[in-house]
Amino acid sequence: MSERDLYREVVDEVRELVRREAKGKPPRVALSKEVAARLEQLGGAKDLFDAPPAPPAPTAPPKAVAETGPSYREQMFAAPVMPVRQEVTPGDPSDSLERIIAEVGGCHKCTLGETRTNTVPGEGAPQARLVFVGEAPGADEDRLGRPFVGRAGGLLTDIIEKGMKLARAEVFICNVLKCRPPENRRPSPDEVDCCEPYLIRQLALIKPTVICALGATAAQTLLKSTALVGQLRGRWHNYHDIPLRVTYHPAYLLRSPGEKVKAWEDIQEVMRLLNGQIPRPF
Ligand code: URA
């Protein structure tokens, strides 16, 4: 592919992204000085940016500007965007957690991209020794763009801070899905297929000592199993050479507090491994 074709593809992708994010308002994106300078250097690609967006984009036309005002291209590119299209292989040296956040932010691989308020890529220490993986953002997470901040999140935070005596910021918390399914329904297999590559890349970058899968969706996705949490918990699993422990989802524990004892056993075993009190299981 020529450089020009590559840029055309990137520009088309950015246009589409900007159009969707604008949700009917005039699209605006700002360019960093470096990117603007690089585009100027391209010279021959100028028409790509000055041309109006190609159909079928049903966007409002850009606002009229004075002769001395910003050009159409400047209006189009008025907040930094990171157009990343190609799939990145887990462990690729060019990959980063920031890149994943940017990709998730513009992701429309499934229909949840149309209904979400915010994406929820995950948060925590980039080199966390422990990663918690949940199912999908709920209403509070969708509103704030952060994982486990609602009622279930309160319980998870207590488990981490009061139970494990760790700071929430020193672990990494994320979900299988990065967008909220409407009405908090269970993720569909298609949605999991679309979103799982982000999770795989996050885990490949963080390389934690232990993964803790919270609930059936996380456990079944990571372990490629259809078994129930009750069947998967109580033993170590091997996730690409990372020890993985399954426990109940905090939302389930809120509904079934009698199961908290078992969850606490699971968490204590995770702590024993983190503290070197038991040997690595493999
Ligand atoms: N439930 C989840 O699985 N994840 C969240 O982030 C919140 C609730």
Please list the residue range(s) of the chain that carry CATH number 3.40.470.10: 97-274
| For residue 196, pLDDT beyond 90 | yes
> Given the CA of residue 218, which atom of ligand 1 is nearest to it?
3
Q: Is 134 in the pocket of ligand 1 (CB under 6 A)?
A: yes
- Mean pLDDT, rounded, for 123-146: 98
Reported pTM: 0.72
Question: Is-contact 176 195, C-beta < 8 A?
Answer: yes
Reduced to 3 states (helix: H, G, I; strand: E, B; else coil), residue 259 is: helix
Asked whether 174 and 121 are in contact (CB, 8 A), the reply is: yes
Q: Could you report the per-residue pLDDT of 156-171, keeping only the tens digit for each?
A: 999 999 999 999 999 9
Digit-coded pLDDT (tens) for 12-54:
455 555 555 655 555 555 555 555 555 555 443 444 444 444 4
Does the beta carbon of 141 lie inside 6 Å of ligand 1?
Answer: yes
CA of 252 to the centre of ligand 1 (A): 11
Greater model confidence, 79 or 248:
248
Question: Atom 7 of ligand 1 has which residue's CA nearest to it?
Answer: 148
Region 97-274: CATH code: 3.40.470.10
- What amino acid is encoded at 20 in this protein? R
Query: CB of 142 closer than 6 A to ligand 1?
Result: no
Q: Which residue has the tokens 């966007």?
A: 59
- For ligand 1, pick from 141, 178, 248 the residue to mutate: most ligand atoms within 8 Å of CB: 141
pLDDT score of 87: 77
Residue 94: CB atoms within 10 A of its CB come to 8
Predicted confidence (pLDDT) per residue in 252-264, tens digit: 999 999 999 999 9
Residue 208 has pLDDT above 90, yes or no: yes
Ligand 1 atom at shortest distance from the alpha carbon of 176: 3
- Whole-number average pLDDT of the chain: 83
